[in-house]
Amino acid sequence: MSEETITIGWRAPSNIALIKYWGKRANQLPENGSLSITLDKSTTTTYLSFQKKKAGDQNISLRYFFHGVQQSQFEKKTRELLNSLLTEMPFLADYELVFKSENNFPHSTGIASSASSMSALALCLVSMEEKVTGNQLKHEDFYQRGSIIARLGSGSASRSLYGGIVTWGTIPSIDQSSDDYATPFLFPGESRLNRVMDIILIVSSKEKAVSSSKGHALMKAHPYREGRKDQANANMAEITNAIRNNDYQTIALISENEALSLHALLMTSGPEGLLLKPDTLHIIEEIKLFRETSGLDLFYTIDAGPNVHLIYYEDQREQVLSFVRQTLSPYCEGGQWIDDKIGSGPIQMTS
């Protein structure tokens, strides 16, 4: 094996779930199926450089730089993930690994970056595997393997391997769907959904009081645990049908129900689960009012935090932008919002 350093790079997007993954079983398997829109502009770019180590040291050897600064927290999390992968990727112990990663969405916006960062990392690992083993995977197999590895890093990251609308979890109406990896959700023909857009309204940029991992753990003994699974399965069946039939009202209804259900589960998990802010509720009220008066097909969704995603269609962009500037931006921290849209998935970087 040569002593040269090889560098691989991937840019991977974040995603926003309409059907929420909330609660997990052993080894990062979801309690329910989830469905998300892959974003376009909110991305992480990660480069992995690797060089063969001298024989003998069988520990994972890595350094992790985020925006040029070495980060011990990222090193710890990545080392844990790579250790857990050693049985199937034994070569990881044979190399000095250096990760250099950057997010292109602004710092301290409270936007979760685990989906984009773990999917970019997973893609780097699968590319490295191809290089060191000389075994070239078929296109579908490459992304499926990436999705499995991304899932082990962060569940929602499994969906960021694909563009468009993506599901993760075994879903009766979707062939080949699995709890192990995500599946691109195909819908027939030309659709307005192919051009859906997302404005992320930053209500608070503070770190969340409850991390997603803690929130998932709290679902284990949650009094509504079984009911939540039934609800998520029913919502999944309804939204996938609605997407196939271009039924925007139902897509909106289910998505908003999922967002509020996630927060109902959080609030009933414990006192720290109240993550919505007064301005989150103001924004929700304004969106409902604007939808009623304008007749537009927009709707909102919210992740496990106070920020609101306003989902709308490209052909309504001008009206929505003026609504956001005039009515919603005063509720945003420092007037801050991110203008994003549906994206086409990860891209490989040339180093």
204 part of the interface to ligand DP6, by CB under 6 A: no
> 316: left (phi > 0), else alpha (psi -120 to 50), else beta?
alpha
Residue count, binding to ligand DP6 (CB under 6 A): 17
Ramachandran angles phi, psi of 52, nearest 5°: -60, 135
Q: Is 20 in the site for ligand DP6 (CB under 6 A)?
A: yes
Q: Rule CB under 6 A: is residue 155 a binding residue for ligand DP6? A: yes
Q: Which residue stretch of 92-100, 151-159, 185-193, 313-321 sits at the interface with ligand DP6 (rule: CB under 6 A)?
A: 151-159
* Shortest distance, position 307 Cβ to ligand DP6, whole Å: 11
In this structure, which amino acid lies at residue 216?
H
94-113 residues near ligand DP6, rule: CB under 6 A: 112
Quick one: 7 exposed, middle or buried, by C-beta within 10 A (0-12, 13-18, 19+)?
middle
Give the integer Cα–Cα distance in Å for 193 and 164.
9
Out of 154, 178, 301, 307, the residue judged to bind ligand DP6 by CB under 6 A: 154
Q: Select from 45, 34, 302 the least CA-distant residue to 181.
A: 34
- Among 15-23, 51-59, 83-91, 94-102, the segment contacting ligand DP6 (CB under 6 A): 15-23
Residue 29 or 281: the one with the smaller Cβ distance to ligand DP6 is 29
Scan for tokens 């040569």, then name that residue: 2
Part of the chain binding ligand DP6 (CB under 6 A), chosen from 17-25, 39-47, 201-209, 321-329: 17-25
Among 17, 82, 85, 193, binds ligand DP6 (CB under 6 A): 17
Tell me if 213 contacts ligand DP6 by CB under 6 A.
yes
3-class secondary structure for 165-221? EEEECCCCCCCCCCCCCEEECCCCCCCHHHHEEEEEECCCCCCCCCCHHHHHHHCCC
Q: Which residues bind ligand DP6 (CB under 6 A)?
A: 17, 20-22, 28, 34, 112, 114, 154-156, 212-213, 216, 262, 303-304
